[in-house]
A = this chain, B = another copy of it.
Amino acid sequence: MNPRILEIRQGILKKNDQLAHGLRERYMDAGVCVIDLVSSPGAGKTAFLEETLRRLRETHSVAALVGDLATANDATRLARSGAPVRQIETAGICHLEAEMVERHLEGWNLNELDFLFIENVGNLVCPSSYDLGEDMRAVLMSVTEGEDKPLKYPTIYNSSDIAIITKIDLADAVEFNRKEAYENINSVRPNMKIFETSARTKQGIDEWIEFVKSLRETKSKKVNTTS
């Protein structure tokens, strides 16, 4: 990479890290659990998130920010779940940055939220470099995109905390090699927790919902420890 652009890029990343640090403190103060979903375009983030919002709303207060280069289609889809949703249109930027998240949270009272989901731009490269202050980053991998993606995009798998295999109902149709997928994920990030899900058949959704609920339980709310 060009040395001048590298230097400026490092400055941008540093500034992003500072903003993300501030966001993380705000989330902690408010006791909101923040989960960032990353994947290639078309891996099924929106369908998965719609089902997640619909299920969590039964017992918790949830909201979502959704990033795209253009269109507000995903926000419209997600709003069907009944949760408050805002679209972040990045105008050509191929990832979300902490500044965009901060700007789109304006006017929302984080203290009233239990969960905030962030759907990143569909891209397996650049989102890995931008901390959004999230508690957990989940990388989604559809059975249709090939078992080799963890090897070809190692940084996004390394920077994620868990992996979610999506469209598992299509596994037979695409001859998905489960063993190879697990080996590839684990070779990049050993012992990574992996979910197998389908937003269509709801397979694996119960387990996922239980997991995020327990994740929030373990996040000590400042309001609890100081009261």
- Is A93 in contact with chain B by the CB < 8 A criterion? yes
Task: Render A143-162 as a binary contact track against B, CB cut-off 8 A, 1 for contact.
Answer: 01110110111110000000
On whether the beta carbons of A152 and B40 are closer than 8 Å, the reply is no
Contacts of A22-74 to chain B: CB distance below 8 A: 40-43, 68-71, 73
Residues of B within 8 A of A43 (CB): 42, 145
- Is A125 in contact with chain B by the CB < 8 A criterion? yes
A73-B148, A142-B144 are known contacts. Are A126 and B42 too (CB-CB below 8 A)? no
- Is A92 in contact with chain B by the CB < 8 A criterion? yes
Residues of B within 8 A of A123 (CB): 94, 123-125
Residues of B within 8 A of A8 (CB): 2, 4-5, 8
- Is A105 in contact with chain B by the CB < 8 A criterion? no
A94-B94, A153-B69 are known contacts. Are A9 and B1 too (CB-CB below 8 A)? no
Residues of B within 8 A of A69 (CB): 125, 152-155
Nearest B residue to A188 via CB reads B70
Shortest CB-to-CB span from A122 to chain B, Å, is 7
| Copies of the chain in the assembly | 2
- Is A223 in contact with chain B by the CB < 8 A criterion? no
Quick check: which of A108-116, A167-175, A211-219 contacts chain B, the rest being far away? A167-175
Tally of chain A residues near chain B (CB < 8 A)? 40
Shortest CB-to-CB span from A190 to chain B, Å, is 17
A60→B2 CA distance, assembly (Å)? 38
Nearest B residue to A129 via CB reads B92
On whether the beta carbons of B73 and A145 are closer than 8 Å, the reply is no
Residues of B within 8 A of A9 (CB): 5
A1-B93, A124-B123 are known contacts. Are A70 and B149 too (CB-CB below 8 A)? no
Residues of B within 8 A of A92 (CB): 125, 155
Task: Render A174-201 as a binary contact track against B, CB cut-off 8 A, 1 for contact.
Answer: 1000000000000000000000000000
Report 16 cross-chain contacts, Cβ distance below 8 Å, ordered by A residue.
A1-B93, A2-B12, A4-B8, A41-B124, A42-B43, A42-B142, A42-B144, A42-B146, A69-B155, A70-B154, A73-B152, A94-B94, A123-B124, A126-B126, A144-B170, A144-B174
